[in-house]
């Protein structure tokens, strides 16, 4: 019974060594439904940032559920245009492991890319699941991609989006319903303007043709500049560090508990007692933790 | 900086008391995309099980992401037909909290319903995110609902589904493409028949009209009977108990760490050192855990 996925031996030491070199990268999240065209947008952003001679890392997070949908494979194949460019690094994350595994693996890759001197790190997510929300909360600029005419404009524009978005993109803006989507977004903003210091801009793009890309990049830049000039930047940094610390704590405590449970079949004995209702999970956990503390003295 | 969502004080004691009374309920998972009609199916299953005089509990899990979609509200309103029936209990879970929060809350509700003597517990999930996959793995019979003609037949039928499904439902079976979906499912099964002792049945339903419901219930019954007669039942029980133990461990360790981090602003101090790159998260976690162990001696 393991609490955690394995991490390669030595990974901690590597991350410890790399960590002091991090902190310079711009970490940008791109979140959108499957079918929103966010991968095409990421693809275009890579091309544009490369023209500015920026080194670009991409971490594409796929919750890898049977229902996650999205043409992940096709997207990744399309991105292979950039595969021969040494200043572009693309990594798909697909972990169906224990809780926190996806978030932790993504953190690790971002730390490595940051330390390696990538200027821009694009974190692409579908935006479902707590793990992913957790990831999105730690980027500096969070771009949320919507698409008109999916028939769920109102549903998709839930209040939750306003909390995590720094920039809205209405992609496929040449489609019917784009005006409606923009209008709905503006209306939602007027209801819940929690960020008086930053009114979340709405950018229209047609990613397949590169339309609106220049404006999107300017908008991301403006947000980064806004962050630098406000307390927000420090706040986001703290939030990101707290997130990394939480994951590291979960990780290391998990390893200790795993060691305890695996020694002498202790975990199996506990589970058997649970199956037979001789013990309940809450008391079993308390006993295991007491054992852990007493053995570490 | 908190590792965990709060649980109401005394909840642990209540769960400890209730636990020995659990183990009799049939725990059935219903997983499907938004739009697959799984809520209608759940609604119909409630009606049918009530006709058999079974008490029915429903836990509807919504990862509550901005993109989760699905007419959760509408579904819940429809289910209010059953709201006046004291032998039906419906609870929507929507936690956008820390990792594991959703899985843990769902566990708690299932434990309570089981102890209260509900015969059937239906756990309804969208099937996205690690938290949800974790939940699905702990039910006794996992029903996966597909729907024809969403244009993503091949994508949706990923190998992962075969791992978690005990029963396939092709809902909206009067739609074009139903035969194709069934055929695709059978083809996938022929490729990856990991369960020689249980060939996952494919049931066609038209949930809005109650079509195929009788067959679905028979199939669920067959699977439950199959479980009873095989090692599988013990294996699933162990898997469920191990899951509950893991969550309880995560919970209680998290509380201890939260206590440590909140005392004298210790967590804030660590985070500040991280922001200034005087410390890395992995070393900070190690220090915090050492402090925790030394203080508990």
pLDDT number for residue A97: 46
A217 and A265 assigned to the same domain: no
What value does the mean pLDDT take over residues B121-131? Answer: 78
Say how far apart CA A23 and CA A28 lie, in whole Å: 13
Last residue of a domain, one of A182, A199, A232: A232
Under an 8 A CB cutoff, do B267 and A242 touch? yes
Specify whether A262 is located in the same domain as A143.
no
- Chain A residues within 8 A of B144 when measuring between CB atoms: 66
* Chain B residue with Cα closest to A292: B293
Of A32, A66, A144, the CB nearest to B161: A66
Q: Which of B233, B259, B276 is the last residue of a domain?
A: B233
Q: Out of A122-131, A276-285, B167-176, pick the least confident.
A: A122-131
Which of A232, A253, A280 represents a domain boundary (last residue)? A232
Q: How crowded is residue A50: how many other Cβ atoms within 10 Å of its Cβ?
A: 16
Report helix, strand or coil for A168.
strand
Of A70, A130, A297, the CB nearest to B131: A130
Average pLDDT rounded to a whole number, residues B186-208: 79
B103: which chain A residues are within 8 Å (Cβ-Cβ)? 99
Q: A168-182, A196-210, A231-245, B60-74: which range is least confident on average?
A: B60-74
In Å, how far is B80's CA from the nearest CA of chain A? 21
Six-digit token string for A238: 């703290």
- Domain membership of residue A4 (yes or no) is no
Q: Residue B89: beta bridge partners? A: B57
CB-based contact B246 A286, cutoff 8 Å: no
Enumerate residues 6+ apart whose C-beta is below 8 A from A72: A60, A62, A92, A94
At residue A73 the predicted structure's pLDDT band, cuts being 50, 70 and 90, is very low
B1 domain residue, yes or no: no
**Element (DSSP H or E) covering residue A181:** helix A178-191
Whether residue A113 is found in the same domain as residue A163: yes
Query: Do B179 and B288 fall within a single domain?
Result: no
Eight-class DSSP state of B227: H
Residue B183 lies in a domain: yes
- DSSP characters for A194-208? --TT----EEE-BGG
Contact at CB, A152 and B69, closer than 8 angstroms: yes
The total of structural domains in chain B comes to 2
Question: Percentage of chain B with pLDDT > 90?
Answer: 35
- Using 50, 70 and 90 to split pLDDT, how confident is the model at B70? very low
Maximum CA extent, chain B:
67
A282, B19: Cβ pair inside 8 Å?
yes
CA-based nearest residue to B47, from B225, B222, B208, B224: B208
Of B67, B161, B241, the CB nearest to A126: B67
Where residue B69 sits, what CATH number does that domain have?
3.40.50.300
Asked if residue B239 is part of any domain, the answer here is: no
pLDDT tens figures, A37-69? 888 899 999 999 999 999 999 988 865 433 333
Residue A220 and residue A174 share a domain? yes
**Residue A86 confidence (pLDDT):** 80
Band (pLDDT 50/70/90 cuts) for residue A12 is confident
Is residue A149 a part of any domain in this protein?
yes
What's the pLDDT tens digit per position in B73-94?
Answer: 444 555 566 767 788 888 777 6
Report CA-CA distances (Å) from A109 to A28, A77, A144, B248: 14, 20, 22, 29
Separation between Cα atoms, residue A214 and residue A144, nearest integer Å: 17
Answer yes or no: do B291 and B197 share one domain.
Answer: no
Residue A2 lies in a domain: no
Give the pLDDT confidence of A256-274 residue by residue, as tens digits: 888 889 888 999 999 999 9
In the DSSP assignment, the letter for residue A283 is: H
Using DSSP's 3-state secondary structure scheme, residue A26 falls into strand
Q: What is the DSSP letter of A151?
A: S
Domain assignment of residue A153, yes or no: yes
Q: Residues of A with CB below 8 A from B274's CB?
A: 241, 244-245
- One domain for residues B53 and B186: yes
Query: Does the pLDDT value for residue A1 go beyond 60?
Result: no
Helices (H), chain B: 11-18, 38-51, 72-78, 101-115, 129-136, 153-156, 159-164, 178-191, 213-228, 231-262, 266-275, 281-295
Question: In the predicted model, what is the mean pLDDT of residues B142-155?
Answer: 70
pLDDT classification of A96: cutoffs 50, 70, 90? very low
pTM over 0.95: no
Confidence category of residue A98, pLDDT binned at 50, 70, 90 = very low
Residue A286 makes CB contacts below 8 A (sequence gap 6+) with B252
* CB within 8 Å: A71 and B155: yes
pLDDT at B240: 87
The pLDDT of residue B255: 85
Contacts of B5 in chain A (CB under 8 A): none
Res. A195 pLDDT band, cuts 50 70 90 = low
Across A12-16, A191-195, B146-150, the highest mean pLDDT is recorded for: A12-16
Alpha-carbon gap, residue B98 to B112, rounded angstroms: 22
Of the pLDDT bands very low, low, confident and very high (cuts 50, 70, 90), residue A125 is: confident
Residues B17 and B78 in one domain: yes
- Residues B165 and B290 occupy one common structural domain: no
Query: Which residue from A minimizes the CA distance to B279?
Result: A20
Looking at the structure, tell me whether residues B274 and B199 fall in a common domain: no
| Contact across the interface for A156 and B67, Cβ inside 8 Å | yes
Dmax (CA) of chain A = 67
B280 and B182 together in one domain:
no
d(CA B22, CA B114): 5
Query: Who among B129, B249, B288 is closest to A249 (CB)?
Result: B288
Radius of gyration of chain B (CA): 22
Residues B220 and B285 in one domain: no
pLDDT at B68 over 60: no
The pLDDT tens digits for B156-187 are 445 456 677 899 999 999 988 899 888 888 87
A20-29, A101-110, B168-177: range with lowest mean pLDDT: A101-110
Is the pLDDT assigned to residue B72 strictly greater than 60?
no
Closest partner residue to A66 (CB to CB) among B65, B158, B274 is: B158
Q: What is the pLDDT of residue B105?
A: 79
Six-digit token pair at A151? 């028939």
For chain A, how far is it from start to end, CA to CA, in angstroms? 24
CA-wise closest residue to A111 among A11, A233, A237, A19: A19
**ipTM here:** 0.78
Q: Rounded to whole angstroms, how far apart are CA atoms A203 and A213?
A: 9
From A66, A102, A282, residue closest to B160, measured CB to CB: A66
Confidence category of residue A176, pLDDT binned at 50, 70, 90: confident
Q: Are B133 and B164 in contact (CB under 8 A)?
A: yes
Distance CA(B297)–CA(B289), nearest Å, equals: 13
Between CA A258 and CA A248 the distance in angstroms is: 15
Contact in structure between A202 and A170 (CB atoms under 8 Å): yes
Instruction: Give the domain range for residue A283.
Output: 245-295
**pLDDT tens by residue, B28-50:** 999 887 778 888 899 999 999 99
Give the residue-averaged pLDDT of A121-148. 82
Residue A6 lies in a domain: no
| CB-CB under 8 Å, B289 with A68 | no
The pLDDT-based confidence of A154 (bands split at 50, 70, 90) is very low
Mean pLDDT of chain A: 80
Minimum mean pLDDT among A221-225, B66-70, B97-101, B174-178: which range? Answer: B66-70
Distance from CA of B83 to the nearest CA of A (A): 25
| Mutation for testing the B interface, residue in A66, A131, A289 having most B CBs under 10 Å | A66
- Mean per-residue pLDDT for A240-248? 88
Angstroms from A210 CA to nearest CA on chain B: 25
- Choice among A176-185, B102-111, B157-166, B195-204 with the minimum mean pLDDT: B157-166
């Amino acid at each position: 019974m393991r609490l955690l996925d394995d991490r390669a031996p030595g990974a901690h030491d590597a991350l410890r060594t790399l960590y002091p070199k991090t902190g310079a990268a711009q970490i940008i999240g791109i979140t959108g439904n499957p079918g929103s065209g966010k991968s095409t947008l990421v693809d275009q952003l890579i091309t544009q940032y490369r023209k500015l001679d920026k080194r670009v890392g991409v971490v594409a997070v796929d919750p890898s559920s049977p229902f996650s949908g999205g043409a992940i494979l096709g997207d990744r194949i399309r991105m292979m245009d950039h595969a021969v460019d040494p200043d572009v690094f693309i990594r798909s994350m697909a972990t169906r492991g224990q809780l926190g595994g996806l978030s932790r693996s993504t953190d690790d890759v971002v730390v490595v890319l940051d330390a390696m001197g990538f200027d821009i790190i694009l974190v692409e997510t579908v935006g479902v699941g707590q793990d992913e929300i957790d990831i999105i909360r730690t980027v500096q600029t969070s771009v949320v991609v919507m698409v008109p005419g999916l028939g769920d404009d109102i549903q998709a524009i839930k209040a939750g989006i306003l909390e995590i978005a720094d920039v809205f993109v209405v992609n496929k803006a040449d489609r019917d319903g784009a005006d409606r989507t923009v209008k709905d977004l503006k209306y939602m903003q007027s209801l819940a303007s929690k960020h008086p210091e930053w009114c979340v801009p709405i950018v229209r793009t047609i990613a397949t043709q590169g339309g609106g890309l220049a404006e999107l990049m300017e908008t991301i830049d403006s947000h980064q500049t806004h962050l630098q000039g406000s307390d927000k930047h420090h706040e986001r940094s703290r939030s990101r560090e707290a997130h990394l610390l939480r994951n590291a704590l979960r990780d290391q405590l998990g390893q200790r508990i795993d060691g305890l449970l695996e020694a002498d079949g202790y975990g199996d004995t506990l589970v058997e007692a649970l199956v037979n209702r001789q013990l309940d999970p809450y008391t079993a956990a308390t006993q295991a933790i007491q054992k852990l503390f007493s053995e570490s003295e």
